[in-house]
Amino acid sequence: MTAPSSPTPPLQFPSHPHPRTWFLTSAASALGIAVARAVLAHGDDTVLCVEPEELSLLTRARGLTNGHKTLFSGSNGLGAGPGSERAEEFVRFVTDEVDTVEEWRTRCRVVGLDGSIIGQCQAAVAQAVVAFGKIDILFCCSSEGTFLFHSPDYRSLPDLAVIGTVEELAACPRTLTLIREQFETNFFSPVNIIKAALPAMREKRAGHIIVLTGITSHLGTPGLGIYCASGWALEGFCDSLAYEIAPFNIKMTILQPNLEINVLTNKVSSAPLLPAYSPLTHPAPLSRSIIGGLLDRLSPDAPSSPSHESSSFTDGSLPSEHLPQSLHSTDKIEIVYPSLPPEMKSALLAETIHALVAVGGHENPPGRHIVGFEAVASVKEKLKTVSEELEDFVEVSAAVDIEESGEEYGTGG
């Protein structure tokens, strides 16, 4: 993946007479930072929600000479650890960009938010209303925290993308916990935040809720069953909620970018590989191998797993050295933080940012906004398959209609 050769077109925001207030639920993520930068440059107000520990990290940096440089280096600094690049990126964005431009500083608030705690969701919404009087656009872009990655307990944090077949994720108590954590991050946290924001939006009889999911919420993806399930659950919630809030002039949009946005810009966990699902013996193109191959190209020095050399995995059809090295451990949960070059990250995020700001606060936004040609083509193919299957079995489907009289079943008078 490389940066586009043609210049990136300018962002197109819907016309509006006054600055809007954006509420970003995971502002420390790569997407959150990019959206905040675009929104502030446009002249809108922003509330940047980060984990409470990330807020403490930012407070420390603001109180130090040379800010983030002192905090992330030297014997007293946080140093280089899992997720440190992301934590530093957010702190650097606030201290070097937001704090140094007076107009940005007055139109930006950073608040602590743990989406799993409803009280913190309500408190963050209250701070936004006190600061700017309203929330016009709530952007739920779920992500895991970054500061906690420096703690020995960082491995117990929720994951945005959990990779593994259904059997692999049901193999032991720890992998079952990954399932619950996946739903906590991708379903319950956005639900808590949305519920907390609705009273303020109802009072103003205006607002736009935008929820980031992915095309995996349209398409079942082998090896990402739990990840897909959490997205489908959230979309079912949003589809139902859209009808409930429409009378209050509150709009709902589900934003569906390509899989790479959520996988390559966030924490990824992989359940231990079961031999039956090894790419050496299993013909289905599982996400583990596809994503693992991408991670190998991003990190050429990724350690190999001893299991790749196991004779029990080899049937002669595929040399073991052709296996991706990342995400193929057979004895442990693997946790990966993809490290993208800045130009690659910008190119990866560009489509989603353009799609987001084009509909954010729109008078008549789409219920679903699919991002990019590849994503649109994938969804069209899925809808075509569903339509063809419906037509193939339409006579069978119609034949099961039960007569109103119920006489067939002896329930008549």
Are the beta carbons of 16 and 357 closer than 8 angstroms?
A: no
Q: How far is CA 231 from CA 145, 375, 395, in A?
A: 19, 16, 32
Q: Report whether pLDDT(158) > 80.
A: no
pLDDT of residue 250: 98
How much of the chain, in percent, has pLDDT values that exceed 70?
79
DSSP 113-166: --TT-HHHHHHHHHHHHHHHS--SEEEE-----SGGGGSTTGGGS--SEEEB-H
Q: Report whether pLDDT(152) > 60.
A: no
Which string of b and e fits 235-259 if b means at least 16 CB within 10 Å? Answer: beebeebbeebeeeebbbbbbbbbb
Question: Which tokens hold the place of 311?
Answer: 């004779």
DSSP 212-240: E--GGGTS--TTBHHHHHHHHHHHHHHHH
pTM above 0.85, yes or no: no
- Average pLDDT value for the chain: 81
Mean pLDDT in residue range 300-308 = 43
Mean pLDDT in residue range 148-172 = 64
pLDDT of residue 391: 92
Looking at per-residue pLDDT, the higher value among 353 and 404 belongs to 353
H or E element: which one contains 251? strand 250-256
Mean pLDDT in residue range 61-89 = 60
pLDDT of residue 403: 65
User: What gap in Å lies between CA 263 and CA 292, rounded to an integer?
Assistant: 11
Give the β-pairing of 137-140 and 368-370: unpaired
- Give all strands of the β-sheet with 137-140 in edge-to-edge order: 108-112, 45-50, 21-24, 137-140, 207-212, 250-256, 368-370
Beta bridge pairs of residue 164: 224
Q: How far is CA 155 from CA 149, 249, 264, in A?
A: 7, 42, 18
Q: How confident is the model at residue 64 (pLDDT cuts 50, 70, 90)?
A: confident
